[in-house]
């Protein structure tokens, strides 16, 4: 089954704590995962940030929400149990303990009000499944997707020569070659022999990477990759990068994967993603830092 939203984890978590014993998330998580029948892959699935498993994050937020509503009580660091309020809540046999249910308890709405601003209401669809941290990451991803689309549109309006320079700038930003003077050059238009750019793989220039840049609307097929590989052979080169604003056909991808030379294919989506990651053609607008408790700080000897 799909990983349950944190509002669907709250009730099973509270029921686990109904035995009156202390619980920790470390102990509760595998039992909750078994309850929902999660596969090993689902248990390990990461958030978009890649920093934490999605299920781990949702269980933690289910605990936080119930603590803020007074259904769970902290006993010591990392441990908690059901409060008298939580015991009474279970007596009403709720089908689900969601945000609407938790809002009945004093202090919970104040907690939520401090976690949001009037101009950023909690999306109804996301709120049923995503934790606040997930919603922030999802919003960031939507902004990146929109920026990627606009970057490709902007590139399309520029000249092919501009795109070739952009590709070289991107490779430099990714750490290839050092400075522009040391790293590489864009070949003269019409005289590249199938090569649009040259860049050093390292600052000493021990290995050269050849670039091909196609500012195309049409899909790039196998014939274009074959021409590029032929140009590499003519240079006695072993490595190349073929970048396009469009996409590659399946035949082109399979051909590149089964040749002796190492040819990396970067389509429009991947190109825009790398430009955003390395701040090529875009600049930071706002920065949000999400912090967590430093457990080491609150340790007493």
pLDDT per residue as tens digits for the range 210-244: 999 999 889 999 999 999 999 998 888 889 999 99
Residue scoring higher pLDDT (116 or 11): 11
Q: What's the order of all strands across the beta sheet hosting 239-244?
A: 184-186, 197-200, 208-214, 239-244, 262-266
Residue 118 pLDDT: 33
SS3 263: strand
> Is residue 128 pLDDT above 70, yes or no?
no
Cα torsion through 35, 36, 38, 44, rounded to 10: -90
Residue 193's pLDDT is 56
Burial label, 24 (beta-carbon count in 10 A; 0-12, 13-18, 19+): middle
pLDDT of residue 188: 55
pTM of the predicted structure, to 2 decimals: 0.61
Residue-level pLDDT at 186: 62
Domains present along the chain, CATH in parentheses: 6-130 (1.10.10), 159-277 (3.40.1350.10)
């Amino acid at each position: 089954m799909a990983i349950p939203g944190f509002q669907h984890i709250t009730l099973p978590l509270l029921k686990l704590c109904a035995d009156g014993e202390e619980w920790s998330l470390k102990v509760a998580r595998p039992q909750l995962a078994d309850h929902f029948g999660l596969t090993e892959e689902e248990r390990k699935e990461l958030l978009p940030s890649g920093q934490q498993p999605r299920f781990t994050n949702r269980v933690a937020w289910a605990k936080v929400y119930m603590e803020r509503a007074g259904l769970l009580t902290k006993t010591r660091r990392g441990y908690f149990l059901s409060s008298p309020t939580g015991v009474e809540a279970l007596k009403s046999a709720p089908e689900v303990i969601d945000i609407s249910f938790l809002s009945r308890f004093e202090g919970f709405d104040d907690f939520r009000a401090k976690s949001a601003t009037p101009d950023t209401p909690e999306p109804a669809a996301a709120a049923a499944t995503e934790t606040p941290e997930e919603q922030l990451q999802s919003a960031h991803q939507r902004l990146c997707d929109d920026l990627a689309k606009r970057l490709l549109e902007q590139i399309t309006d520029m000249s092919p020569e501009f795109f070739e320079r952009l590709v070289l700038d991107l490779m430099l930003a990714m750490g290839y070659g050092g400075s522009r003077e040391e790293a590489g050059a864009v070949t003269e238009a019409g005289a590249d022999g199938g090569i649009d750019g040259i860049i050093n793989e390292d600052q000493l220039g021990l290995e050269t990477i050849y670039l091909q840049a196609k500012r195309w609307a049409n899909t790039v097929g196998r014939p274009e990759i074959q021409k590029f590989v032929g140009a590499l052979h003519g240079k006695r080169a072993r490595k190349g990068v073929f970048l396009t604003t469009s996409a590659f056909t399946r035949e082109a991808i399979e051909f590149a994967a089964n040749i002796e030379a190492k040819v990396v294919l970067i389509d429009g989506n991947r190109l825009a993603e790398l430009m955003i990651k390395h701040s090529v053609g875009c600049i930071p607008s706002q920065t949000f830092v999400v912090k967590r408790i430093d457990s080491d700080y609150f340790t007493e000897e």
